[in-house]
Structures are given as C-alpha cells and as structure tokens.
C-alpha cells in the first residue's frame, strides 16, 4: 500500500479521535502552581501522519524544554514540601491522604477521553489498549488505596515483647524522582508515582521521551488534589534537567523504568549512594521454550500476543522463541501464517493488531537487526516481514536464528520474532543462564515431569515462569520484578507501598508511667502515627 493511502486525510479521522492539534503544552506544575513556560520547546511528532494533499504532517505539538534552574526549582519545591518529614503531606493521616487520592481519581476520570486520544496519537497504541491503559491505572489507584488500608489495619496493633511496648508502622522516605517508559507512559509512570505519593513522599516526575502531552490534561487534577509542592513535573532532556536533580544528592528514591544504561548514569550522578534507594524496571529478553508435546493452537496464540502485542514494545514481551525440532516445522508454518494475517492499521481502526511505531528511525534500526541476522544465516519466513511504510514496520519472523546474531542477544523492543530450533533442552536453559537478563520465561508443553524439571531450574533464573501462557506483568496484585539486569526492587500493588516506605517504630519501656502516656496519646488521638484506629 502506498504511504499516502495508509495515512488518513483529516476528514477521514473520526471526530471523537481528533484533538485540536497543535497542542502546545506551555503550562507546568511546580510548587503547587501552574506556571507558563516561555523558553525553548521540544516538538512532538506522532507516528500517525495526516495526509494533507502533497505532504504528510505529523507535528502535533510541543512541550517545555526546561533548563537547570527550573529543574532545581522543582527539586526545591518537593524537598520543601517534604521538609525533613515535617511537611503537611508526610505528617498527614493516612485517611486524609486517601481522601486526596479519591479526589484525584474523580478529576482524572473526567480527562479519560483526551488522555486516551493522546495515547493513540503520541505512541500509536490502539484505542482498545489505550483505554485499557487508562482504566488499569484508575484500578491501580483504587487497589492501592485498599492495600494501604489493609497495611494500616495490620499495623494498628500495639506489640508488647520483653518489657517493650511498640507500634510498628511504615513511614515515608523523602523525595522521589519518578520516570516511566514510553510504552506505558501513563500506567508505568503511575505505578511508581502513586504508591510513592500515598506513602507520604513528595514527588518530582518526568514524563518519558514519548507520551508527554497526555500528562497535560492531568496537571489541574494534581494541582487541585494535593498540597502545594507535593507533586512537581519536569520536562526536557535528561542531561539538562535530571542530572542536576540527581547530583544535588537530595533525591531519596529513584523510581525509573527504562534502559540499564540510563539507570546506571542516573545512579552514578547521586553523590550519596547509601542515601539513594532505587526501584528499577529495566531490560529483558524473555524466552518461550516450546516443548515437543506443546499444544500448537494455544502456543501459536500465546506467542503471537506474547511477542507482538503493541508491536512487541513491552518489557515483558516474548523476545525469542526456542522450539523443539520435532514440532518446529508445524509451529513455524502456523505461527508465520498467523503473523501474516495480522492487521497493521491506524490505532482507532475497528480491526487492528499492529500500529505504526513511535520511535524515530525505529524501522531502520529494526531492518539493521534483520540484516545482521540474514547475513549470518537467518531466513525471513513470513511474506510480509519487514515491509516498511514510513513509521510502520510489518513484523519479521526470523527462522534459523543462532548465537552469532545480534537478535539472539539484543532486546529488539519491536516487531521481530526470532525463532531458534533446539534438539537438547539444555540449549534454551543455557540461554537463560547466560543471559544478562532475568525477568520472565514461558514454557509450552504437556508432560508434567518435564515442566516440573524446567520450572525448578527457571525459578532460580527469572522471577516469573508462565506455563502455557505468554509473559506478562498483570494482574497487578502479583509481584513484578526481575533478576540480574532486569530490575531492582519488586513492584505489585502491595509491594510498591513497602518499596516506597520504611518500617519505623515507636517503643516504650513497659512502665506504668509510659503506659499512661501511651493511653493518653491513643485516647486523645494527638498523634498521627501512634494510633490504633482501623480505617474502614
Ligand atoms: O513494558 C512492561 C510492562 O510492565 C508490561 O506490562 O505485561 O501488562 O503488558 P504488561
């Protein structure tokens, strides 16, 4: 199809999908105020072009390219709002914080339509998946509130041991810097921001390099719902805005989801390594191990969604398939056919499996990976594999892949599916053991003995083994983490509350005088920390 035919004319875009572009986001939230940015800006380009006669247009707006001074203003505001734990927010009761969050959810829900549309335009996520990302985020906030109530109820008791009366709770850590990835710019930013905030920390967050404008409809909600300086947003180049923030030594927690390289740079910028706690979601190369007796239909279906949902741009995607030689030909034929039957379309189309890619030059980079593989003996097994149409790249199924190729080792984070034929199960196991990553793996098969044996090896290499199903993060109540270069810290709705707080206790020697003091504190409700009330 010709490029001009693939991308729509303005008149062909459904009205409720249109946003009044260009959207120049000039407002930014620091210290509880929405300021007007008058400095340099970064243009935002969509992966979806609009066909205007002879030209294809994709500039949809801009956002502030902040300078060091503004970044440090954001830092100072967050640090001041925390005020060494003396700020309004860290000292607030949990009930009061929960009320702020409920207010925020009400305001956020009003912005759903615009946020979903911007998700489609900015990162090319399908309408269904964009709605899912928004709804999943709202659910995440609600579930976090419930998890916090639970946590608080469990720590509402007084413990008496060896003549010591104590109450043990969780207290905030300080100022948290949150940075999410472009593939889940809303959800994954919020899966650290929300728990960090609700535990009483103050926040600076920087939207990812793609998926920036979609945060703008939420600025008012942040301003309205939370006290001054508790949530601050910075935009711009990491080197200009994040380096000075990290180098100040005033960040207590770095919550970052992205590449190992950037995480290492950020951590090294902090002058006090022991003061900084890191919560990181990093790279992965999750394998599927397909055994000789695997059910072909289920395996093909799970491997298609596992490797190609959102064009393979998921940290949890299946990024290499190891297929037993006895099932290889049948699997390859069915998998390849299924891939070629996928529909690459605009995000709002009724029938859409794949969409244009948001990263500039990604199709070219993917083509280079494919070329390296074919130069070393791999074969493109699907007819449509590698067809490029500006920002679109039709998935490539690569057969005959081996360890001499870059695609065997590198995380493609895009629509290439490398397939390795194996004879001995040791081959995929060696792959997992030697991999620098350790997030998840999938096993497809029926023989319970073999599955048990493999599982017992894999659970000591990765953090989630999926049986006859693709790798994935959800449901969000389950722990999400990784070994080696894949993660630091564990996220789940309840784990995240712990990651962004520290166990802290108040202890009394068990004397009559101290018992009297404690009773008076509890009865008068004079402390926000020492209390035995249950939040209902
Ligand atoms: O990109 C990494 C995400 O956490 C993956 O989440 O498995 O729910 O798509 P998901």
* DSSP result, 241-261: HHHHHHHTT--SEEEEES-HH
Q: Is the pLDDT of residue 1 over 80?
A: no
CA 63 to ligand 1 centroid distance, Å = 26
User: Which tokens go with 288?
Assistant: 């599927």
Q: Cβ(377)–Cβ(403) under 8 Å?
A: no
314 lines ligand 1 (CB under 6 A): yes
Is the bond preceding residue 22 a cis peptide, omega within 30 degrees?
yes
Q: Which is nearest to 174 in space by CA: 264, 281, 87?
A: 87
Q: How many residues does the chain have?
A: 536
286 lines ligand 1 (CB under 6 A): no
CA 5 to ligand 1 centroid distance, Å = 32
* Helix or strand run (H / E) with residue 120: helix 112-123
Q: φ, ψ for residue 73 (rounded to 5)?
A: -65, -40
User: Which tokens go with 155?
Assistant: 């720590």
Q: Cβ(50)–Cβ(60) under 8 Å?
A: no
Tens digits of residue pLDDT in 74-114: 999 999 999 999 999 999 999 999 999 999 999 999 999 99
The per-residue pLDDT for 5 is 81
Q: Which CATH superfamily is domain 66-281 in?
A: Aldehyde Dehydrogenase; Chain A, domain 1 (3.40.605.10)
316 lines ligand 1 (CB under 6 A): yes
CA 330 to ligand 1 centroid distance, Å = 29
Q: Which is nearest to 146 in space by CA: 478, 492, 494, 491?
A: 494
184 lines ligand 1 (CB under 6 A): yes
The per-residue pLDDT for 376 is 98
319 lines ligand 1 (CB under 6 A): no
Q: Is the pLDDT of residue 463 over 90?
A: yes
CA 130 to ligand 1 centroid distance, Å = 13
User: What Cα–Cα distance (Å) separates residue 268 from each residue in 57, 253, 265?
Assistant: 40, 13, 5
Q: What separation, in Å, do the N-terminal and C-terminal C-alpha atoms of the chain show?
A: 59
Q: How far apart are CA 360 and CA 367, in angstroms?
A: 13
Q: Is the pLDDT of residue 4 over 80?
A: no
Q: Do domains 66-281 and 286-474 have the same CATH topology?
A: no
Find the angle CA(185)-CA(191)-CA(194) to the nearest 5 degrees. 115
Provide the CA 65 distance to its chain's centre, in angstroms: 23
Q: φ, ψ for residue 166 (rounded to 5)?
A: -140, 150
Atom number in ligand 1 closest to CA 309 = 9
Spatial neighbors of 237 by CB under 8 A, at least 6 apart, are: 65
Q: φ, ψ for residue 471 (rounded to 5)?
A: -80, 145
Count CB-CB contacts under 10 A for residue 157: 10
CA 295 to ligand 1 centroid distance, Å = 25
Q: Is the pLDDT of residue 2 over 80?
A: no
Q: Which residue, by CA, sits nearest to atom 7 of ligand 1? A: 472
Question: Yes or no: is domain 286-474 CATH 1.10.260.40?
Answer: no
- Residue 469 DSSP code: S
Q: How far apart are CA 49 and CA 121, in angstroms?
A: 9
Residue recorded with tokens 């912005």: 111
Atom number in ligand 1 closest to CA 474 = 8
CA 174 to ligand 1 centroid distance, Å = 28
CA 435 to ligand 1 centroid distance, Å = 20
- Residue 121 DSSP code: H
CA 392 to ligand 1 centroid distance, Å = 22
487 lines ligand 1 (CB under 6 A): no
Q: Cβ(316)–Cβ(473) under 8 Å?
A: yes
pLDDT confidence of 3, banded at 50, 70, 90?
A: low
pLDDT confidence of 498, banded at 50, 70, 90?
A: very high
pLDDT confidence of 323, banded at 50, 70, 90?
A: very high
The per-residue pLDDT for 53 is 81
Tens digits of residue pLDDT in 269-285: 999 999 999 999 999 99
Atom number in ligand 1 closest to CA 136 = 8
Atom number in ligand 1 closest to CA 317 = 7
Mean pLDDT of the chain: 97
Give the residue, out of 316, 318, 441, 489, with the most ligand 1 atoms within 8 A of its beta carbon, to mutate for a pocket test. Answer: 316
Q: Is the pLDDT of residue 146 over 70?
A: yes
Q: Which is nearest to 70 in space by CA: 237, 226, 209?
A: 237
User: What average pLDDT score do residues 339-352 get?
Assistant: 98
472 lines ligand 1 (CB under 6 A): yes
CA 474 to ligand 1 centroid distance, Å = 7
Half-sphere exposure of residue 39, counting CA atoms within 13 Å on the CB side?
11
The pTM of the full predicted model, rounded to 2 decimals, is 0.97
- The helix/strand count (H/E) of the chain reads as 18, 25
Tens digits of residue pLDDT in 399-442: 999 999 999 999 999 999 999 999 999 999 999 999 999 999 99
Atom number in ligand 1 closest to CA 313 = 1
Q: Which residue, by CA, sits nearest to atom 6 of ligand 1? A: 473
Residue recorded with tokens 């504190």: 521
Residue recorded with tokens 């309004």: 88
Q: How far apart are CA 490 and CA 119, in angstroms?
A: 26
47-56, 181-190, 209-218, 244-253: segment of lowest average pLDDT? 47-56
Tens digits of residue pLDDT in 210-236: 999 999 999 999 999 999 999 999 999
User: Which tokens go with 203?
Assistant: 């926040």
CA 472 to ligand 1 centroid distance, Å = 6
User: What Cα–Cα distance (Å) separates residue 1 from each residue in 344, 392, 397?
Assistant: 11, 11, 21
Q: How far apart are CA 438 and CA 443, in angstroms?
A: 15
Atom number in ligand 1 closest to CA 191 = 4
119 lines ligand 1 (CB under 6 A): no
Q: Which residue, by CA, sits nearest to atom 8 of ligand 1? A: 473
Q: How far apart are CA 19 and CA 395, in angstroms?
A: 29
- The residue extents of the domains of the chain are 66-281, 286-474
């Amino acid at each position: 199809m010709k490029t001009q035919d693939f991308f729509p004319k303005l008149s062909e875009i459904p009205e409720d999908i249109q946003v009044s572009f260009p959207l120049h986001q000039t407002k930014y939230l620091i210290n509880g105020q929405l300021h007007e940015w008058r400095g340099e800006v970064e243009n935002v380009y969509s992966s979806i072009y609009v066909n205007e006669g002879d030209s294809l247009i994709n500039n949809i707006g801009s956002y502030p390219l902040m300078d060091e001074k503004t970044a440090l203003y954001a830092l100072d505001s967050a640090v001041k709002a925390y005020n060494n734990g003396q700020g309004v927010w860290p000292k607030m009761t949990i009930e009061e914080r929960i009320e702020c969050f409920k207010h925020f959810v009400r305001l956020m829900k009003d912005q759903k339509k615009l946020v979903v549309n911007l998700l489609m335009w900015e990162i090319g996520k399908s309408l269904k998946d964009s709605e899912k990302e928004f709804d999943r985020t709202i659910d995440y906030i609600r579930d976090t509130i419930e998890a916090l109530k639970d946590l608080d109820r469990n720590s509402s008791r007084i413990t008496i041991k060896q003549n010591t009366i104590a109450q043990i709770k969780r207290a905030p850590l300080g100022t948290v810097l949150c940075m999410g990835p472009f593939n889940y710019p809303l959800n994954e930013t919020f899966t650290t921001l929300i728990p960090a905030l609700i535990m009483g920390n103050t926040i600076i967050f920087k939207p990812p390099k793609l998926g920036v404008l979609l945060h703008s409809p939420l600025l008012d909600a942040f301003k309205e719902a939370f006290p001054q300086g508790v949530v601050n947003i910075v935009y711009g180049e990491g080197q200009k805005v994040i380096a000075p923030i990290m180098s100040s030594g005033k960040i207590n927690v770095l919550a970052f989801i992205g590449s190992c390289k950037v995480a290492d740079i950020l951590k090294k910028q902090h002058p006090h390594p022991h003061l900084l706690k890191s919560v990181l979601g990093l790279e992965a190369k999750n394998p599927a191990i397909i055994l000789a007796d695997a059910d072909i239909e289920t395996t093909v279906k799970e491997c298609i969604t596992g490797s190609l949902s959102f064009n393979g741009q998921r940290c949890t995607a299946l990024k290499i398939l190891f297929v037993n030689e006895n099932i290889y030909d049948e699997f390859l034929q069915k998998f390849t056919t299924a891939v070629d039957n996928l529909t690459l379309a605009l995000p709002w189309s009724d029938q859409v499996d794949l969409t244009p890619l948001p990263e500039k030059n990604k199709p070219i980079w993917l083509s280079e990976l494919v070329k390296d593989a074919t130069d070393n003996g791999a074969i493109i097994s699907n007819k449509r594999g590698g067809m490029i149409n500006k920002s679109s790249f039709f998935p490539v199924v690569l057969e005959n892949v081996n360890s001499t190729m870059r695609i065997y080792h590198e995380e493609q984070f895009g629509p290439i599916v490398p397939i390795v034929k194996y004879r001995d199960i040791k081959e995929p196991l060696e792959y997992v053991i030697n991999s620098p990553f350790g997030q998840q793996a999938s096993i497809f098969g029926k023989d319970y003995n073999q599955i048990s044996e493999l599982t017992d090896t894999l659970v000591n290499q990765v953090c989630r083994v999926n049986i006859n199903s693709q790798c994935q993060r959800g449901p969000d109540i389950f722990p999400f983490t990784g070994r080696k270069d894949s993660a630091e810290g564990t996220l789940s709705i309840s784990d995240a509350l712990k990651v962004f707080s520290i166990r802290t206790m108040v202890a009394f020697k068990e004397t009559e005088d101290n018992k009297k003091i404690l009773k008076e504190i509890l009865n008068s409700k004079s402390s926000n920390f020492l209390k035995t009330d249950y939040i209902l």
